[in-house]
Structure 1
Amino acid sequence: MIYINARFLTQDMTGVQRFAAELCLQLARLRDDVIFLSPRDIKQVDIASRLNVKVVGSRSGHLWEQWDLPFFLRKNGCPLLVNLGNTAPLLYLNKVITLHDISYLRYPKTYSWGFRYCYKFFIPLLLGTCKKLLTVSGFSRDEICSQYGFSREKIHIIHNAVSEKFTVSHETGLRRGYFLAVSSHHYHKNFHGLLAAFNKLPEKYEMHMIVAGSTHPNYQPLEFDKNLGNKVSFVGRVSDEELVDLYRNAFCFLFPSLYEGFGLPPLEAQACGCPVIASNAAAMPEVLGESAILVDPLNDDALTEAMEKLVLDPKLRESLIAAGTENIERFSWLLSARQLSCVIDSV
């Protein structure tokens, strides 16, 4: 039997957890020799109901992962353990691990002191004790090799993809007059640059911006510019259904991130028929190619110019929608699960 570390079932659904969940759902369709090991405190009940989940141990969180999980595996003959988050049991050797990116090194101010210290200590040890390493892009593979001297031959790229719920609406009509941004408040997401650029957009265009995603309680537009007024709405964390509606009705999706190991939100936007303006940094050129307008995320004026260009050129907007629809065909959770299955068989 193959065992999957399903601790992600106990966590909120962010990019890393979505990667794990979607891969596991497809892997369960491909193989009948997979068991998903989880702590008791499952939050993602719907996903768990579609997997062969076995609850083990009495602890939760890191303690479960470092003690209960390896204890169970050793009692059962030390089978292969596949870890799809950025963590794994350190003292269990028969494992495949996943490292999405090294943003904790490239943009340390994004994270707390404790998180940075833990990852700087923990990740090199995990890399030294794994059979194979998964990551989500060629960019992240190169970053890991450069930073840690890890063998390229042991790294396998397993791409993200778009969930089936992100689709184009069949309803016709004009898009509403808002730009959309979806992400967290973390520094490397570059919301400070995004808001500065949006504030430079001439008011004659009468455009609004909606920012969806988790935010810090003190994270308010007034921190950046008092002139933003009612031009920006922070709607917080939204459900997938609400997010699909936001994508479908947006004039354009903005993603000027400074650092991404992959960058899934632009693909979600494209799947919903929304054109994209994104950063030309990190993995974004690899993921988006020529299907989006790519700009220097450190150049506010370039981002403002791209927004204005799209407002003034309806044909450009339509061409980006078509290019985005074509781009998302390159990525599939089923294909990624098949690639993961091959990695499992090769260990």
Structure 2
Amino acid sequence: MIVINARFLTQPITGVQRYGIELSLALKKQNAEIVFVTPNNIIHHDIALRLNAITIGKLKGHAWEQLELPQFLKKNNSPLLINLANTAPVFYKNKISTIHDIAFEKFPLSFSWKFRQFYKFLIPRIVSSSKKIFTVSEFSKNELCSLYSTPKSKLEVIPNASSSIFTRSTTNKTQAKYILAVSSLTQQKNFVGLIDAFNMLNDQQHELLLVGSINRNFATQTLIDKIDSNPRIKFAGRVSDSALVDLYRNAEAFIHPSFYEGFGIPPLEAQACGCPVICSNIASLPEVCGDSALYFDPYNTVDIASKIDNLLVDSNLSQSLVKKGYENIKRFSWDSSATKLLVSIKDLQ
């Protein structure tokens, strides 16, 4: 028996939860005998139903994961447990764990003190106690190996992909003119730099639309003030997937200004919807986007502004990036990632 720790079904969707959900759905198609186990405070009920997820225990969050989940597993002959969303029961040995990145080490101001201290305690112990570690890019693999002195043979890259809902439009774009950015608004996402660059543009026709969540533990007052200072900067907060598809399809450009990404799913989503991508030239992004994006130095606001301006005025460049984007997304699929995962665990069952 293979068991998936499906606690991600109890959490709002960011990239980590998206990975858990989409990879689990692909795994379910390829191996119907996989068992998905979750606390009872599920918020993604439709996904839980598709996975036939089993709810166990009375606790939730980390307490459920560290106490009730391993108890359930030990009562069921200690099967192989696969963890897809950064955390895992530390003292359960027959497990594989997925660590997406080490942003809490690289950009501590993006996280609360309590969160950082907990992850500093938890993650190295998960790495050392797991039979294998999955991660989402060669960039993250190298970072994990370096920080935790872990042999590369223990780590394997199981990448993200764009979900099937993100597709190009069959109709013409709307007349709205905006540049789109999608992410949680934390320090390493560099929205402050993006806004500074946007304010440098001579163009007065386009708006900057920011989609994502602001957690008051994470967001700085500087960022909030900058959003409020320019009426052409709009903050939409979280939106549904269907609304996000429309936003990608109708944007003049998608921009991803991050200082740090373990993978970065939004550029692939934008490309799948036919939107040209401008993004940072550091971390995992060149690995993920290849030659299909227009790159800038995220620490140089003049460079960011220049690349935005280049794309807005050069329709040939825009169309070229759209075509390259369609080709780039073919390199990634949840089905192929699921297949790779199942092959990787074959000898560990």
TM over 0.5: yes
SS in 2 for 1:128: helix
Please state how far the C-alpha of 1:207 moved relative to its aligned partner: 1.3
1:260 to partner: Cα distance: 0.2
Residue 213 of structure 1 is matched in structure 2 by: 212
**Amino acid in the other structure paired with 1:224:** K
Question: Tell me, what secondary structure is at the counterpart of 2:97?
Answer: strand
Partner in structure 1 of residue 19 of structure 2: 19
What displacement does 1:19 show?
0.1
Distance 2:35 2:265 in 1: 27
In 2, the alpha carbon distance for the partners of 1:131 and 1:13 equals 27
Q: Separation in 1 of the partners of 2:251 and 2:43?
A: 30
Instruction: Check whether the contact 1:185–1:219 (CA below 8 A) recurs between aligned residues.
Output: no
**2: CA distance, partners of 1:12 / 1:220:** 25
Secondary structure of the corresponding residue to residue 230 of structure 2? helix
Partner residue of 2:66? Answer: 66
User: Could you say which residue in structure 2 is the equivalent of 1:327?
Assistant: 328
Once the two structures are superposed, the pairs formed by residues 95-110 of structure 1 within 5 Å of their partners are 95-110=95-110
**Aligned residue in 1 for 2:94:** 94
- 1:270/1:219 CA distance change after superposition, 3 Å: farther
Aligned to 1:121: 121
Q: Deviations over 1:203-252 (max 9, x none)?
A: 4x4111110111246768662377x4211000110000110000000000
Alignment of 1:119-268 (within 5 A): 119-173=119-173, 176-203=176-203, 205-216=204-215, 223-224=225-226, 228-268=229-269
Query: What SS is found at the alignment partner of 1:72?
Result: helix
What is the Cα deviation at residue 332 of structure 1?
0.3
Q: Hey, what's the Cα distance between the residues in 2 that align with 1:24 and 1:344?
A: 15
In the alignment, what sits opposite 1:315? 316
Equivalent pair of 1:26/1:337 in contact (CA under 8 Å): yes
Provide Cα deviations, 1:125-181, integer angstroms capped at 9, x if missing partner.
111110010000000000001111111101110010011100000002466310001
Q: Report the identity percentage.
A: 48
1:346 Cα deviation after fit? 2.4
Q: Distance in 2 between matches of 1:140 and 1:199?
A: 33
Looking at structure 2, the residues matched to 187 and 39 of structure 1 have their Cα atoms a distance apart, in angstroms, of 31
Distance 2:288 2:175 in 1: 25
Supply the RMSD in Å over aligned alpha carbons. 1.4
The 3 A distance-change label for structure 1 pair 299 and 188 is same
Partner of 1:37: 37
Deviation at 1:33, TM superposition (A): 2.2
Q: 3-state DSSP class of the match of 2:54?
A: strand
Q: Report the 3-state secondary structure (helix = DSSP H, G, I; strand = E; otherwise coil) of the residue aligned with 1:73.
A: helix
Is residue 295 from structure 1 mapped to residue 310 from structure 2 by the alignment? no
Amino acid of the residue matched to residue 131 of structure 2? K
Task: Please say if residues 101 and 261 of structure 2, whose CA atoms lie closer than 8 Å, have aligned partners that are also in contact.
Answer: yes
Number of aligned residue pairs: give it.
345
4+ aligned runs moved over 6 Å, structure 1: none
TM-score of the superposition, structure 2-length normalised?
Answer: 0.96
Write the distance in 2 (CA, Å) between the matches of 1:209 and 1:224: 12
Amino acid at match of 1:238: V
Q: Which amino acid aligns with 1:281?
A: I
1:84-117 deviation digits (Å, cap 9, x = unpaired)? 0100001100000000001111111111111111
In structure 2, the CA distance between the partners of 1:174 and 1:53, relative to structure 1 (3 Å rule), is: closer
1:81, distance to aligned residue in structure 2 (A): 0.4
Q: Which amino acid aligns with 1:297?
A: P
Amino acid corresponding to residue 205 of structure 2 in structure 1:
E
- 2-structure distance, mates of 1:300, 1:11: 34
Paired residue secondary structure (1:124): helix
Q: 1:48-59, aligned counterparts within 5 Å?
A: 48-59=48-59
Structure 2 Cα separation of the partners of residues 135 and 78 of structure 1: 24
Give the unaligned 5+ runs of structure 2.
none
Moved more, 209-218 or 323-332: 209-218
Measure, in 2, the Cα distance between the counterparts of 1:291 and 1:16.
24
CA distance in 2, matches of 1:157, 1:128: 17
Contact 1:34 1:52 (8 Å CA) reproduced: no
AA at the equivalent of 1:206: Q
Provide the C-alpha distance between the structure 1 equivalents of 2:215 and 2:48, rounded to a whole number of angstroms. Answer: 29
DSSP-derived class of the 1:146 partner: helix
Asked if structure 2 preserves the Cα contact closer than 8 Å seen for 1:276 and 1:292, the reply is yes
